[in-house]
Amino acid sequence: MGAADLVRRRGVSLNIYALHVELSRESNPEYRAMCDLGESVSCSKVFTSRWGRGFGLVQFFVAKDSALNQPNSVLGIIFYSLQMCLGLSLSKKAAICLVLSSWVSVAGSLYLASILAFVLGDFCMVCVSTYIVNFALLFTNLKRRRAIEGMKEKAG
């Protein structure tokens, strides 16, 4: 198992926990997550905010309670799972898809980090950990792509 696999698994784990926190908070408003350390350090506050679903953008196109307006954690679980599946391939196309989707995840992380800091004024340990995972995944996917291209050049 390589570094990219570990990073992807960490991403899935973080997003499963985020989904657990969000669902627990929705069913019990008194629920206090391990990552809720204070008024301005609260992951459940962030996950249940409007930006916790569809990046706060999907609700402009569909109803707020639409099946298309999923929690960001569900999107993250799908993203990291697809990354794991694509990571099984040694093809150049898969490597390029991994890198491109990693760039998209980094852009999403920068967007959500700015919302976290400047709009919500909160610190979310799970969110920041996910942003770090996305940057690490980009780094490992870029490194992997270079290695695959090097293997193809030597073979060809």
pLDDT tens digits, residue range 84-123? 999 999 999 999 999 999 999 999 999 999 999 999 999 9
Return d(Cα 124, Cα 120) in angstroms, integer: 10
- What's the pLDDT band for 1 if we cut at 50, 70, 90? low
pLDDT tens digits, residue range 35-92? 999 989 999 999 999 999 999 999 999 998 899 999 999 999 999 999 999 999 999 9
**Residue 83: count of CB within 10 angstroms of its CB:** 22
- CATH fold group of domain 3-155: de novo design (two linked rop proteins) (1.20.1440)
For the chain, domain boundaries: 3-155
pLDDT of residue 43: 94
